[in-house]
A = this chain, B = another copy of it.
Amino acid sequence: MTPRHVQLDGEGRLRHFITTEGLSRQILTEILDTAENFATVGSQKIKKVPLLRGNTIVNLFFEPSTRTRTTFELAAKRLSADVLNLNINTSSASKGESLLDMLRNLEAMGSDMFVVRHNQSGAAQFIAEHVAPHISIINAGDGSHAHPTQAMLDMFTIRRHKPDFTRLRVAIIGDIMHSRVARSQIHALNILGVPEIRVVGPQTLIPQHAAHLGVHIHHSLETGLKDVDVVMMLRLQRERMEGALLPSAEEYFARFGLTQAKLALAAPDAIVMHPGPINRGVEIDSSVADGAQSVILEQVTNGIAVRMAVMSLVLGRGPRSEEAAP
């Protein structure tokens, strides 16, 4: 069973959102168009619509993340849903009930959606395969597998600045190997028709099979950035530094840190993105993060609208856009 089949219902509509891999351009475009409708909600005086009133959304976080949980909680509340936050300590799971028994109980309580975060790749799909038919699963990050709502808020942000995906050069820079964000971004960019996707990083942090994903591999930031329209930085996990994969933070910054000088190699109107939280002076210089080409805070704002869109789409509620591209 491919992930594609798990996420779609019999009529090909989105029912879970586990990964961007294998989805159609039409589905991704529908998410982006729906998010456009929600983007105005965040700037209204009353930032709330009654679409999911009386629905119960459970934030099921097996890996703690205040930041991601907060964005999903806000999106759910602005859709007028009731939100339950459950932080599950997997190390003490042996004392309690099994994962499946826990799911069965939350289902029986009348939950409508689980937003799942887990440090094991495949956890969200496993839950989607075992959940009752009336529940939708949204993957809020599973191991190094996928983080599809992050990728879609990135696509939304790109489209607002560069409306035609089919004319873009995009570079993704950093620890491609361990990044669920990069994986979901690459699939989404490919599906939306981006002709040139580059991954840039040291050899130890780019997987051997990356070329199979339809990307170009660069081990030099200078060649990687040349003439790109979109620069997507990744967060460098500090624990990589402690392993054998990386030299010091200083050395990493010297080779792959994004500075104004390096950015000048990209197209003059290139935008700079980062999923946050940023390590200033490690993967990105402060002057770039806070500079005129940075759209990092726009990404955060767009993240609420995109999550509202995904939540309302998987539950089969409007506002569906009439103009969804074929």
A93 CB to closest chain B CB, in angstroms? 11
Contact present for B277 and A101 (CB under 8 Å): yes
Contact present for A277 and B97 (CB under 8 Å): yes
Does A261 belong to the interface (CB within 8 Å)?
Answer: no
The proximity string for A residues 244-268 relative to B, scoring 1 for CB distances below 8 Å and 0 otherwise, is: 0000000000000000000000000
Determine the residue in chain B with the shortest Cβ distance to A83.
Answer: B77
Does A98 belong to the interface (CB within 8 Å)?
Answer: yes
Q: A67-B105, A109-B300, A301-B110 are in contact. Are A46 and B56 (CB under 8 A)?
A: no
Contact present for B276 and A105 (CB under 8 Å): yes
Contact present for A276 and B110 (CB under 8 Å): no
User: Size of chain A's interface in residues, with CB distance under 8 A?
Assistant: 45
The proximity string for A residues 49-67 relative to B, scoring 1 for CB distances below 8 Å and 0 otherwise, is: 0000111100000000011
The proximity string for A residues 293-320 relative to B, scoring 1 for CB distances below 8 Å and 0 otherwise, is: 0000110110110000000000000000
Contact present for A74 and B297 (CB under 8 Å): no
A residues 53-112 in Cβ contact with B at 8 Å: 53-56, 66-67, 70-71, 73-74, 77-78, 82, 84, 86, 95-98, 101-102, 104-105, 107-110
Interface residues of A (CB under 8 A from B): 42-48, 53-56, 66-67, 70-71, 73-74, 77-78, 82, 84, 86, 95-98, 101-102, 104-105, 107-110, 238, 276-278, 280, 297-298, 300-301, 303-304
18 example contacts (A-B, Cβ-Cβ < 8 A) are as follows A47-B54, A48-B53, A48-B82, A54-B78, A66-B86, A70-B109, A71-B109, A74-B82, A78-B82, A96-B277, A98-B280, A101-B276, A101-B277, A101-B280, A104-B300, A105-B277, A105-B297, A110-B301
